[in-house]
Amino acid sequence: MKKYLLLASVLVTGATVFNACKVKSDQTTQKFLDPSNIDSSVKPGDDFFMYANGAWIKKAVIPPTENGVGGFYDLHKATQQRLKELMEELGKGSNKDGSLEQQVGDLYASGMDSAAIEKRGYDPVKPVLQKIDGIKDAKGVMSFVAEEQTSYNTLLFLAYIGADEKASTVNIPTFYQGGLGLPDRDYYFKNDAATQAVVTAYKTYIAKLFSLTGADSTTARKNAETIYEMEKQMASGHRTNVELRNPQINYNKMAVADLEKQQPNFGWRDVLGKMMIKSDSLNVAQPGYYAKLNGLLKSVPVETWKIYLKAHTLDDAASALSSPFVNAEFEYDKVLSGQQELKPRWERVVADVDGSLGEALGQLYVKKYFTEDAKKRMMDLVNNLGTAFETRIKSLDWMTDSTKEKAIDKLHTFLKKIGYPEKWKDYSKVKINKGTFYENLVAASKNEYAYQVSKVGQPVDRTEWGMTPPTINAYYNPTFNEIVFPAGILQFPFFDPAADDAINYGGIGMVIGHEMTHGFDDQGAQYDKDGNMRNWWSAQDEVKFKEKGKLVVDQYKMFTVLDSLHVNGELTLGENMADIGGIAIAYDAFKLTQQGKDTTKVDGFTPDQRFFLSYAQIWRSKYKDESIRTRINTDPHSPAIWRVNGPLMNFPPFYSAFGVKQGDKMWKPENERIRIW
């Protein structure tokens, strides 16, 4: 039932922002900065993140149900509360069967019916476990795996349908590495204490799943060890997180006939048939993994495979089963996140509804909470940043005119999506029953899968969205050459129609600039204006661009996170480039506004200072150490402090706004300040 949307960029995976404080000033300008967050004992030029947020960080307490706290959590909680109230109201009504209102309301009600869920235990998944018991050989293993893919039980591998990266007008199936229970392949090969604590928690979790379904403790522990060792073999065929960032090596279009010959144990034709995929060719993103899997299907006994399949089927279903399964999963998550208490049921069910009937819920959400005025104002901001970005490209001193022309053509071709989709997904075939939560989730998953698989070989529909409207996030998709801003992120502190330009350009303006820059980061720059992976650079410009990327890697690798733990410069390169470019583009666009040209102070701060404070305070956050460690290993974004201080130490207008001088910790000589776009 777990869905995987592989997007090119996710801006705010762990973003945090701040609370509004609106008071009329003498100039009738509303205040949108909270001065009580500022720690005036810190020099802005030493640590601007702590200057802007330090007083708040000293007081902030992370709730036991969270892995961190900050303004983002306030915005997330407020949005979740809206969704809860919307769903509760729908759940109480007598809505027409099959209507969006009935589907959303009854799915939420089924998830909130804890008595029914507890009574059923793990009965909902027993038929699936019985199917596993009937498997006789490797062919049976792959037949079961393929059938389960149709309800997004993504055993062994991930598969998705999307634009062919070298022929972006047509959809193609892509098969991605998978099969692991730990967050990343490196967890199977690192021996430090923090990693081993995660490994131990994972084994305990797997053993618990078997115990809950009747295995004795000795068998349960043995099964967990067996699965770990099996996954370790799979992990040896995985590419690293850094390697996965290279779109060139992850594009491997192959004929099904050739795959059938190369990997007979996998049985590609049979697998595709069970998955209802009709295609003569596929993109096998990580061929080494599938070669490894083909070998394991021959060498690993079928009884071992059955243990593996049961564990991962239970893991996939755990959150929708009775509390012993939910709690077992949470005990493992605690070690990864540092979160101490399970979130309330309503929050978990709201997330399930958004993940299962996202655009049905989205239609109801935007109808009630999103205005066309906000959409229009946002489009104005996007267009203003596009103008600023074009000016920056034209003024680059390291790029030749021919490449500049192609870059500007790509910028002009951006597809801009704001708020919600132009057309909505069809959920008419999804049958939702108030008494069967697990089956409801499966029905929604099957509907989504059928929709996705129907796109194989068909023209790409560029009106599609990869996020639901209430999502507090944004993304750039290189094969669509699009920038997307759901309604959820178009709220304060990112954006407020009543806020002055310094606040909006420092907030949502930076988000817009960030996503625009993703079209020209180390990954996005490999795609042309039509979304095809094609080199549009002159040879000399490409060399200079890669040299600048190396400077970013080297700079961010020096940033310390915890003790001796540093930012992974290679993994975070694209996001860091987007942060550096995003703040520069947003600032240039801000300087085109009336306030940006003015010097009138508000609450003692100049417009430029308010712009930079807005930027710093949207990343206000405090996280558990466990969560930070997991993010450093798996998240392509730098921690919040370096999303602020990293770009600003390279940006001259920041130096001018706060009088940063040589001797300040953030000061860099002019020849060491990185400017790419």
Tens digit of each residue's pLDDT (9 = 90 or more) over 518-531: 999 999 999 999 99
Helices (H), 559-636: 573-590, 594-597, 607-617, 625-634
Please indicate, yes or no, if residue 360 is contained in any of the structural domains: no
Asked if 166 and 279 sit in the same domain, the reply is yes
Asked if 46 and 190 sit in the same domain, the reply is no
Q: Is the peptide bond before 264 cis (omega within 30 degrees of 0)?
A: no
Q: What pLDDT, on the 0 to 100 scale, is given for residue 585?
A: 98
Asked if 479 and 571 sit in the same domain, the reply is yes
549: CB partners within 8 A, 6+ apart: 522, 573, 577, 676
Could you tell me the sign of the dihedral formed by the alpha carbons of 584, 586, 592, 594, in that order?
A: negative
Mean pLDDT over 150-167 rounds to: 97
pLDDT at 25 > cutoff 70: no
Asked if 281 and 388 sit in the same domain, the reply is no
pLDDT at 16 > cutoff 80: no
Please indicate, yes or no, if residue 196 is contained in any of the structural domains: yes
Q: What percent of the chain has pLDDT over 90?
A: 92
Please indicate, yes or no, if residue 250 is contained in any of the structural domains: yes
Asked if 537 and 613 sit in the same domain, the reply is yes
**Cβ burial 473-486 (10 Å sphere, 16+ → b, else e):** bbbbbbbbbbbbbb
Split into its structural domains, the chain has a count of 2
DSSP annotation of 96 reads P
Which of 110, 305, 309, 327 minimizes the C-alpha distance to 212? 327
pLDDT at 72 > cutoff 90: no
Please indicate, yes or no, if residue 127 is contained in any of the structural domains: no
Q: What pLDDT, on the 0 to 100 scale, is given for residue 2?
A: 54
Residue 13 pLDDT class (50, 70, 90 cuts): very low
Asked if 310 and 379 sit in the same domain, the reply is no
Taking each helix axis from N to C terminus, what angle separates 607-617 and 640-648, rounded to the nearest 10 degrees?
150
pLDDT at 8 > cutoff 70: no
Asked if 308 and 378 sit in the same domain, the reply is no
Q: What pLDDT, on the 0 to 100 scale, is given for residue 307?
A: 98
Residue 19 pLDDT class (50, 70, 90 cuts): very low
Residue ranges making up the domain that contains 148: 138-320
Q: Strand 475-477 vs strand 482-486: parallel, antiparallel, or unpaired?
A: antiparallel
Residue 71 pLDDT class (50, 70, 90 cuts): confident
Please indicate, yes or no, if residue 67 is contained in any of the structural domains: no
Mean pLDDT over 67-91 rounds to: 92
User: What would the pLDDT profile of 579-637 be if each residue is shown by its tens digit?
Assistant: 999 999 999 999 999 999 999 999 899 999 999 999 999 999 999 999 999 999 999 99
Q: What pLDDT, on the 0 to 100 scale, is given for residue 91?
A: 81
Structure tokens at 369: 């909470």
Q: What percent of the chain has pLDDT over 70?
A: 95
Q: Please tell me the distance from the alpha carbon of residue 273 to that of residue 634, in angstroms, as a whole number.
A: 34
Specify the CATH number for the domain of residue 378: 3.40.390.10
Please indicate, yes or no, if residue 325 is contained in any of the structural domains: no
Structure tokens at 378: 């946002």
**CA geometry: angle at 496 spanning 23 and 16, to 5°?**
95
Specify the CATH number for the domain of residue 264: 1.10.1380.10
Which of 360, 372, 614 minimizes the C-alpha distance to 510? 614
Q: Please tell me the distance from the alpha carbon of residue 155 to that of residue 178, in angstroms, as a whole number.
A: 8
Question: To the nearest 5 percent, what fractions of the chain are helix, strand and coil?
Answer: 55, 10, 35
Q: What pLDDT, on the 0 to 100 scale, is given for residue 564?
A: 87
Q: What pLDDT, on the 0 to 100 scale, is given for residue 31?
A: 63
Q: What is the mean pLDDT of the chain?
A: 94
Residue 563 pLDDT class (50, 70, 90 cuts): confident
Asked if 307 and 394 sit in the same domain, the reply is no
Asked if 260 and 176 sit in the same domain, the reply is yes
Higher-confidence residue: 283 or 93?
Answer: 283
Residue 1 pLDDT class (50, 70, 90 cuts): low
Asked if 405 and 547 sit in the same domain, the reply is yes
Instruction: Name residue, tokens 């099996």.
Output: 230
Asked if 536 and 652 sit in the same domain, the reply is yes
pLDDT at 12 > cutoff 60: no
Please indicate, yes or no, if residue 293 is contained in any of the structural domains: yes
Asked if 308 and 376 sit in the same domain, the reply is no
Please indicate, yes or no, if residue 362 is contained in any of the structural domains: no
User: What would the pLDDT profile of 243-276 be if each residue is shown by its tens digit?
Assistant: 999 999 999 999 999 999 999 999 999 999 999 9
Q: Which amino acid is at 570?
A: E
User: What would the pLDDT profile of 475-497 be if each residue is shown by its tens digit?
Assistant: 999 999 999 999 999 998 899 98
Q: Pick from 289, 305, 320: which residue ends a domain? A: 320
Mean pLDDT over 8-21 rounds to: 31
Q: Strand 167-177 vs strand 157-164: parallel, antiparallel, or unpaired?
A: antiparallel
